[in-house]
A = this chain, B = another copy of it.
Amino acid sequence: MNNYYTQDVHGPYEIIDIGRLELEEGGVLENCRLAVATHGALNEARDNAVLVPTWYSGTSKIMEQVYIGPGRALNPNRYFIIVVNQIGNGLSISPSNAPDAIAGPLFPKVRIGDDVRAQHRLLTERFGIKRLALVVGGSMGAQQTYEWAVRYPEMVERAAPIAGTACNTEHDFLFTETLIEAITTDPGFSDGAYAASAEVAAGLKRHAKMWTVMGWSTEFFRAGRHRVLGFADMKTFVDEFMTGYFGPMDPNNLLCMAWKWQRGDVSRHTQGRLPDALGRIKAKTFVMPISHDMFFPPTDCLAEQQLIEHSEFRPLHSIDGHLGLFGTDANMMAELDSHLKELLALPSAI
């Protein structure tokens, strides 16, 4: 048992079993348990629901801490905010907590579309929600946001994909492959049959180093932002912050998410034609890359935004790069909130 994935660390959340989920790649989750954290209440008109999916390695907790609160755009006094942990993240059904028959390396391959179908069932059947005022997420949360807007266009009134793409790039696919290999080449990984994350500590540390290189930005380090965050030098930043963050996680969980991340692609709905897929979107959409993001640079996101009818390009500005998603740059978070408030004030087009 991995002590990291607990209510103590990530709660409160509720485990909701949505039943049998057949997966796009052919596997099955007989009891698809989703970890769900909600904030606020659904109003009588049932028109104030906001869905927040999670990113690679993230859980509902960081979304709560960094994005949700009174006075924020995601204000629980106004909206019913549902944060659904992605499959494989250790709280929802994952390699680390699945029944023996699909535990660890036996866990089936999951796609972004599987998460979104699971979330759709949760929202419609469990909560009786027919429309979402907003879907908003960062990174893999942006992938799920795009998937929602393309798959269920009549249900998503507004969409805010942050620091992520609708169709993952070849470049990002390869970077993710290097992350995967950092873990799988650790002899302690033993093809996924390790007894505890600690046996894969060296691989997880290498994975953390690669995240450090690409996750922030060159300017972040040149400006000494890691020191501002309280770490004496790069080594301490890597050892304490980055390895401290990833080290306790379950390697098979990370690999489940990484595989899914690599293959995020809404054009699967339209035989590979991305303009057709993005052309389905009816949501008012603010595309929000982060200026110094080395995974999903603004130019990649701009190309997609231009294919979405009711959309605007709203880049966020921070030298913190992709991991500005952690909320390390207060100015960027204010910028984000401002955009989200503006988006939420727009009339629905559906």
Contacts and interface: CB of A to CB of B under 8 A. Distances in A.
Interface of A: 169-175, 177-178, 181, 185-187, 202, 206, 209-210, 212-214, 216, 218-222, 226, 233-234, 238, 294, 297, 299-300, 303
Contacts of A174: 209, 212-213, 234, 238
What's the dominant secondary structure at chain A's contact region?
helix
A37 to B, nearest CB: 33
Contacts of A294: 218, 294
Nearest to A242: B174
Contacts of A222: 169, 171, 299-300, 303
Number of identical monomers bound together in the oligomeric complex: 2
14 contacts: A169-B218, A169-B222, A171-B216, A177-B209, A178-B206, A178-B213, A185-B185, A185-B186, A187-B187, A210-B210, A218-B300, A219-B297, A219-B299, A222-B300
Given A185-B206, A187-B187, A221 B170 contact: yes
Contacts of A171: 213, 216, 218, 220-222, 234
Contacts of A173: 234
Contacts of A233: 170
Contacts of A206: 178, 181, 185
A324 to B, nearest CB: 16
A170 B219 contact: no
Given A218-B300, A219-B297, A210 B170 contact: no
Given A173-B234, A219-B299, 9 more contacts: A169-B221, A170-B226, A171-B222, A174-B213, A174-B234, A175-B213, A178-B206, A210-B210, A219-B297
